[in-house]
Each structure stands twice: as structure tokens, then as C-alpha cells.
Amino acid sequence: MKRKRNILPTSQVRLGGGTLSKGTSEGLERFHKSKKHKRIVIGSIIGILVVIGSIVLYKSYALYKEEKIFNVIQGQVPEFKKNTSDVIIAALIDGEFTNKIPLKEEPYVFESIECSHGAEASWNNDTWSLSINNLTISGTTCTLHFARYGFEELVASIKSNATNVQELMSNATDIDNIVKTEEAMKIIAEQENLRKAIQSNEKYTTEVAKKFLNSTVITEEEKYNGGLPCYLFKDGKDLVGGFSMQRTTDNATGAALNGNDYHMYASFAGNYVTISSNNKITTQNYSILEIYSTHSTNLERLTGTTTLGIASDQSISSFLVSNSETFAYTSASSTLKTNISSYTAPSYLKVKVLHNGTSNTMFTVTVNISTIAVY
């Protein structure tokens, strides 16, 4: 006798000791598919994150390396169509790269600039600005060099609260303290950048220059060697190796130093005479050449002119830059100045005296020079 098989409905499946409906089976299948889909999604997300992370890491490293090499300021030029920076400005202070150009009022001075790809650049110290010409390639790099000077040491030596040269030069007390403090004067004389920053300041007037000129806390040699206002001739002492006379006649007497009053005398009986320094002076640091002198003659009606200036040679009449003043028998003293700022090459210092007498008249003109200064 055959056993009758129990046939379950098609909607049921036996599992172990129980049965699983068709709907439940389909749900399980969907569960497995969903789980597999989640794994794919999660894996994809992780993969994307890894790729993005790698890109970010690479760029960060590249930027880090660039930061280590250059701290730059990038500028755009409208004429260029590229998306990259057209000009890269790199700034260095004392040879170290910085991420900004120093401000004008900060204790730094501009030294030089060079550009790549044949670009030509110039720096305007007055406006504290940069101009670039012949810019033909995008990505051109221009490197500005600035230097720190002894400003901190200077203000410390006079116990000033100034934080920059502008503040320092705007304080009359600070200036007075500088010219009477040996350490301060030596700092300026030894620090060329600091001296240039002071002398190029708008507050550095003739009055201020005269204060440096008359400072006695360091020697005239130290002031001259440091480019500070100084006396080239004073109290019988000179910084130009003495003077010589270019004679016009045989009976013209020579220039000499008088040991009693420390003045330089030049007496002559010719038509004119030129007194010239034996050595050239450095004029590039100065604007004014000044001579204080007196004139005397033994001929009451005699008149003439005295000319002060500089020249490239010691000849009698040549002058590069000069200024003249009329003298007469009754003249007691005079101060003659000439602007030498337009001529910066080392030059001979010259004084020329010309009289209006006749060559057969017997007389003597004496020029008594007491001081010669540059400031």
C-alpha cells in the first residue's frame, strides 16, 4: 500500500522542522542582495575617499615644499589670458624668504631686485612700489631683497620709544639725543642702510643735517667714512690730504696753514688763483658743499669773485659744480654754498678767487678759509 505524500502548497517550503512561506523566502533573498549592495557602496565610498585623500595629501606636500622654498605674493596682469599667476613676487629680508613685503615705516631698506624671463623691474623708494617692464611670460618671478638695519640698537642706545624711522625723525628730542650720544652716532656711521633710511626721510632737513655736522662725539674721520655730515677742513685739520695752489703768475704765493689760528691763507698778486685739494673727496652721500671764508686786499677799489665747487681734475679753471659770490675791499666774511647732489663721482674740492684789477697793479688778495663742510 503506497504511502500518501503530503504535498505542501507551492507557497510553502519546508525547512527543518517547520515551513517557510514563499514571501519569507523572497524577503531573505532581498536581504542578501541588499547586504551585497551595501558592501559595494561602502567599498566605493572608501575607494573614493582614498583617492581624494591621496590627492589632498600630494597637493599638501607640494604646497608644503613650495612654502619651504618660496613664500610668495602673486599678482595678476589683466592683459594675460592664462589662469595661472602672471607675476610671482618673492621677498627676502637679510637673505631669508618672507610671506609679505615690508611696510615703508618698518625698519627695513630696499637693496635690489631681479626678475626671470628677461623682465625688467625698478623699485621706487619714495612711493614704496614696484614697476615691471618687458613682461612677456606668465609665471615670471621677481625677487625683492630687503635688509634689516641697526634700528633696534639705535633706539635702545638713546632710550627712545620710536618703532620706525618716521617716528624717530619726527621727534626732535630723539635727534638731539642721537647727535650727543657716541654709541648712537657710531651705529649710524657703521650701518649704511640705517644712515640711508635716515637721510632719505622727509624729516631730514638742512637743520637736522647741521646737527649731525656739529656733533663732536665721534671724529670727523668717522663721520666722513660713514657718509655723515662732516668738516673737510676745520681747525687746521683736513680730510683731503692738504691743499695746493694753481698759480697764475710767478709772484703768486702758495696756500699754507697758519699754526696760530688754524686758518688756511691764500695770498696772491696775479689775476686769479685756484686752491685745490690734493685728494678727491667722496660726494655721493652729500647735497651741500659749504665754505666759510674772509677776504682782504691792500687795494680799496679792488673787487672780484670767489667760486667754490668740485672738479674732476686740479686744473686752474675747470669746475663740474660750482657757485660764486662777489667780494669787495670792505667784505669781512662770507659763507658760500653750492649744491653737489647732482654729481656723485669722487672729485677734487676747489676754491677759485678772481679779482677785477689790472695785471700791472701791485696788490695782494688774501683768502682766509676757516671751514669747509659737506652735509
Question: Domains of the chain: which residue ranges?
Answer: 73-148, 151-228, 237-374
CA distances in angstroms from 60 to 69, 140, 332, 340, listed in the order given:
14, 23, 80, 57
Q: What is the pLDDT of residue 11?
A: 46
User: Facing residues of 130 across strands?
Assistant: 123
Distance CA 49, CA 250 (A): 101
The Cα–Cα gap between 235 and 224 comes to: 16
| C-alpha atoms less than 13 angstroms from C-alpha of 70 in its C-beta half-sphere | 13
Per CATH, the number for 237-374 is 2.60.120
Closest among 176, 162, 171 to 215, alpha carbons compared:
176
Distance CA 138, CA 287 (A): 42
Identity of the amino acid at 344: T
The reported pLDDT for the residue numbered 346 is: 94
User: What does pTM read for this prediction?
Assistant: 0.65
Give yes or no for a contact between 348 and 257, defined as CB atoms under 8 angstroms apart: no
Question: pLDDT in tens for each of the 375 residues of the chain?
Answer: 444 455 444 444 444 444 444 555 555 555 555 666 677 767 777 777 777 776 766 555 444 444 433 444 545 444 433 434 578 888 998 888 888 888 877 778 888 999 999 999 999 988 889 999 998 888 899 999 988 788 989 999 999 999 888 999 999 999 999 999 999 999 999 998 899 889 989 999 999 999 999 999 999 999 999 999 999 998 878 888 888 877 666 555 554 445 445 567 777 666 777 888 999 999 989 999 999 988 777 777 777 888 899 999 988 778 999 998 887 766 667 889 999 998 889 999 998 888 776 555 556 677 788 899 999
In three-state form (DSSP H/G/I as H, E/B as E, the rest C), the secondary structure along the chain is CCCCCCCCCCCEEEECCEEEEHHHHHHHHHHHHHHHHHHHHHHHHHHHHHHHHHHHHHHHHHHHHHHHHCCEEEECCCCCCCCCCCEEEEEEECCEEECCCCCCCCCEEEEEEEECCCCEEEEECCCCEEEEECCCCCCEEEEEEEEECCHHHHHHHCCCCCCCHHHHHCCHHHHHHHHCCHHHHHHHHHCHHHHHHHHCCCCCCHHHHHHHHCCCCCCHHHHHHCCCCEEEEECCEECCCCEEEECCCCCCCCEEECCCCCCEEEEECCCEEEEEEEEEECCCCCCEEEEEEEEEECCCCCEEEEEEEEECCCCCCCCCEEEEEEEECCCCCEEEEEECCCCCCCEEEEEEEEECCCCCCCCCEEEEEEEEEEC
Q: Which three cell numbers stand for residue 262?
A: 688754524
Q: Which residues contact 245 (CB under 8 A, 6 or more apart)?
A: 252, 253, 254, 255, 266, 268, 273, 274, 275, 276
Structure confidence at residue 257 (pLDDT): 45
CA distance 229 to 371: 13
Report the distance separating Cα 122 and Cα 114, nearest Å.
9
Asked if 66 and 85 touch (Cβ cutoff 8 Å), the reply is: no
